[in-house]
Structure 1
Amino acid sequence: MQHRTMAELASRWLSRNADALTDSERRVLQSAIDRKAVSFHSGDSDQQGATTGARVADAVARIGGSWGFIISFMVFLVAWTLLNSVVLVSGAFDPYPYIFLNLVLSMLAAIQAPVIMMSQNRQAERDRTAAAHDYEVNLKAEIEIMALHEKLDELRHSQIMAMREDIKHLADHMLQLEQRLAARARPTRSRK
């Protein structure tokens, strides 16, 4: 593949003009020419470049979407209602219909919802990046498979050509043997 140009490979394997290639297709073709891998492990690279706010948003989304948070919040709500309805019957700081609790829940929802949306947006961006990377890896795999097919076809063709030459040599040798046998057989007939 070293001797081929980007334009030739684009035309041959992607059926496109080199000028019409996307950046990722160019990277993949260049990696095929250079015989380098395009795959990599993204792992923790997302968290390393994240701002503090982004990491907090991810933590809030991770905690807020867990069963531990849901169960602990249910316990908090039950404790709040029991405390204000049963324990502090006469001096409850938030008697039924729990207006202060509703205010706290509304404020929590108002803060938590956009923070979770920020985390979802970051996750969507990570997913788009992963999908683009998967496309590049798959494209590179297809190109490598096509290159292997070409090599196998060339190898098969050269083997067939070699076999044709061998068959031709054998046929010539057989013809020579036939001629020798025919030449030997003639004098014996003439002697009789």
Structure 2
Amino acid sequence: MNNKEIDKLLLDEKEHLNKLHQIVKDTMKEEKLIVNNLLNPPTETLSRGQAISDKVALFGGSWKFIILFAVILTVWIIFNSIIPLKNRFDPYPFILMNLILSTIAALQAPIIMMSQNRQEEKDRMRGENDYLINLKAEMEIRSLHQKIDLLLEEQIKTLFDTQAKQFKILQEINLKIDMVSKKTTP
């Protein structure tokens, strides 16, 4: 090989590396927004009412609440059934107890719904983050495919160039053999 061929091979390799670098740069640009959204999610600011609704929903949906409420109702019923009739503050059919239960249910339901709406918003944001992560993975896979395709393309080109050079060298050797054989043959 002469210097021109070596320089051409080096130039081809440099172009090949530049293509790979460009693919990496393009991929990094595409992923920058996704990574920024994943690393810096918007901070959640809770109002006082939202914080209270979360605490009420957390307590209202627990076994602690159910057991405590069952104990209070049982004590209420037993107390108003056992003590003398004139000292009962809520005699049977326990109208005051029903009023209190209805009021608790009427207040607790919207508070729990507010908390559930906020939870749905959190779930939606989680779903968006999952989508962004999947999109990022898809972009990385696409980039890898581009790199592999480029490498295969360059390898095939190099293989054809090498075979062409080998064929040329074989022809030169064949010519030299023919020349030598003509000189030795009388």
- TM-score (normalizing by structure 2): 0.73
User: In proportion to residue count, which structure has more helix?
Assistant: 2
Unaligned runs of 5+ in 1: 10-28
For 1:168 and 1:112, locate their aligned partners in 2 and report how far apart those are by CA, in whole Å. 83
Give the secondary-structure state (helix, strand or coil) at the position aligned to 2:160.
helix
Which position in structure 1 is the counterpart of 2:132?
A: 136
Displacement of 1:101 in angstroms is 0.8
Equivalent position SS for 1:148: helix
For 2:53, the equivalent position in structure 1 comes to 57
> The residue matched to 1:39 in structure 2 has which SS?
helix
Write the distance in 1 (CA, Å) between the matches of 2:145 and 2:136: 14
SS of the residue corresponding to residue 38 of structure 2 reads coil
Amino acid at match of 2:49: G
When Rg is computed on C-alpha atoms for both structures, the one with the higher figure is: 2
Tell me the residue number matched to 1:118. 114
Corresponding residue of 2:30: 32
**Which residue number corresponds to residue 147 of structure 1?**
143
> Counterparts of 1:89 and 1:180 in 2: how far apart (Å)?
131
Give the equivalent residue in structure 1 for 2:169.
Answer: 173
Higher relative contact order (CA 8 A, sep 6+): 2
Residues in 2 aligned to 1:146 and 1:128: alpha-carbon distance in whole angstroms: 27
Q: State the shift of 1:66 in Å.
A: 1.1
Q: Are residues 1:98 and 2:97 paired? A: no
Do the aligned partners of residues 36 and 116 (structure 1) sit closer, same or farther apart at CA in structure 2, a change above 3 Å counting?
closer
1:37-96 CA-partner distances (Å, limit 9, x unpaired): 2423659x32xx11000000011111111111112211222222222223x243222122
| Deviations, residues 145-181 of structure 1 (Å, cap 9, x unaligned) | 2122112211221121112111221222223233333
Gaps of 5+ in 2: 1-19
Mapped partners of 1:173, 1:133: distance in 2: 59
Supply the AA of the counterpart residue of 2:65.
F
Deviates more, 1:103-112 or 1:32-41: 32-41
User: Given that residues 85 and 96 in structure 1 are in contact (C-alpha distance below 8 angstroms), is that contact kept between their aligned partners in structure 2?
Assistant: yes
